[in-house]
C-alpha cells in the first residue's frame, strides 16, 4: 500500500524501523526497552515489523576493554562478533514480555548484489514475518571489509525496505527532524515534508558524522530516505525518543513522500559505497 503521509503509519502492512548505534548502546542502552515497546504495539495491531539495528561493534567494545571505536578491521570484526550476540540477547529479553521472538539476519553488500543470495534473504525474511517473528537486521561486520560494505545502516535499511516491499521506513536519529542546515547554526529550520522529486541540494546537511560508536548523520539519512522513497516507500526521519509517537502517526519528524509510480518490482538500489562505518 502507498501511504499518503505519516498519519497513516499505524495502518502500514509492513514496516522497517532503523536505529543507530548511539541510540541503543553505551549510555543509550536504556532506549532498547521503549523502542521494543513501540515495535510490540505495532506488531500487536498486525503490522509486520523489521528492525534494522546498528550497534554490534559499539556493544562489544566494553567486553574487549576498548574505550573508543577501533580503527583496524580485525578488531572491529572481533568487537562485532561479541557485540552482536549481546545486542540480540538484549532485544530478546525486552521482547519476552510480549511473547515475540526475534530472528537475527546478518547481511553483506555482496548478499544484495548477488541475485541468488538476494532471493534467499528475501525468502528468509518473508518466512520469518509469516511466522510472526521480528527480524533484526544488521550488516555482517564480522566478515565485511572496508572496500565492500553498505557504508551505513541507513542505506541498508532503505535497501531492506525495498527488498521486502515495505510500506514505510522509519529512520531513527538523535534529533526530531532534518533541518535546512545543522540545527545548531543560525537560521536552521526543521524540514517537515519532502514531496517526491523535491530538490534537496540547497540544504546543508553536512558531511557524515563519525562519533565514538558509529557513523551516520543527516546527510546519510536524507540520501537513504530518497533512495527508499524513489522505490515507492514512504520514509519518516525522527528521533529515537519519539518512536512511539512516530509509529502512532503523530505529526513528528521529516516525511519523505513515496514515488507514486515506482518502477516495477525489482531491486534497483546501488549497494556498495566503500565507506567503512
User: How many CA atoms does the CB half-sphere of 264 hold within 13 Å?
Assistant: 0
174 is in an annotated binding site: yes
153 is in an annotated binding site: yes
- How far apart are the C-alpha atoms of 7 and 114, rounded to whole Å? 36
Residue found under cell 503523530: 250
What residues contact 103, with CB distance under 8 A and at least 6 apart? Answer: 128, 133, 134, 135, 136
223 is in an annotated binding site: no
Which of 235, 114, 231 is CA-nearest to residue 164? 231
In degrees to the nearest 10, what's the CA dihedral of 216, 123, 231, 250? -60
201 is written with which cell numbers? 541540494
Q: Is 27 annotated as a binding residue?
A: no
Is residue 151 within 8 Å of 274, Cβ to Cβ? yes
Binding residues for substrate: 54, 141, 153
Binding residues: 18, 54, 141, 153, 173-174
Binding residues for ATP: 18, 173-174
Amino acid at each position: 500500500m502507498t501511504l499518503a503521509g505519516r498519519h497513516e503509519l499505524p495502518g502500514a502492512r509492513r514496516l522497517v524501523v532503523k536505529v543507530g548505534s548511539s541510540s541503543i548502546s553505551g549510555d543509550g542502552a536504556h532506549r532498547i526497552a521503549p523502542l521494543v515497546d513501540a515495535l510490540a504495539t505495532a506488531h500487536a495491531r498486525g503490522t509486520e515489523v523489521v528492525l534494522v539495528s546498528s550497534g554490534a561493534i559499539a556493544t562489544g567494545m566494553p567486553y574487549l576493554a576498548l574505550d573508543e571505536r577501533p580503527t583496524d578491521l580485525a578488531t572491529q570484526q572481533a568487537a562485532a562478533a561479541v557485540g552482536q550476540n549481546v545486542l540480540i540477547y538484549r532485544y530478546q529479553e525486552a521482547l519476552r514480555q510480549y511473547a515475540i521472538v526475534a530472528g537475527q539476519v546478518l547481511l553483506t553488500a555482496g548478499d544484495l548484489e548477488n541475485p541468488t543470495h538476494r532471493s534467499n534473504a528475501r525468502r528468509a525474511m518473508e518466512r520469518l514475518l509469516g511466522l510472526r517473528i521480528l527480524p533484526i537486521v544488521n550488516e555482517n561486520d564480522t566478515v565485511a571489509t572496508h572496500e565492500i560494505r553498505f557504508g551505513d545502516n541507513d542505506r541498508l535499511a532503505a535497501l531492506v525496505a525495498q527488498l521486502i516491499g515495505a510500506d514505510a521506513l522509519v529512520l531513527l536519529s538523535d534529533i526530531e527532524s532534518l533541518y535546512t542546515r545543522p540545527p545548531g547554526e543560525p537560521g536552521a529550520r526543521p524540514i517537515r515534508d519532502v514531496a517526491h522529486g523535491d530538490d534537496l541540494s540547497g540544504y546543508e546537511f553536512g558531511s557524515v558524522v563519525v562519533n565514538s560508536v558509529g557513523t551516520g548523520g543527516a546527510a546519510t539519512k536524507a540520501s537513504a530516505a530518497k533512495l527508499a522513497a524513489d522505490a515507492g516507500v514512504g520514509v519518516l526521519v525522527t528521533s529515537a525518543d519519539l518512536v512511539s509517537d512516530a509509529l502512532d502517526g503523530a505529526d513528528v519528524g521529516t516525511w519523505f513522500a513515496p514515488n507514486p509510480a515506482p518502477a516495477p518490482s525489482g531491486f534497483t538500489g546501488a549497494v556498495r559505497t566503500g565507506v567503512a562505518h
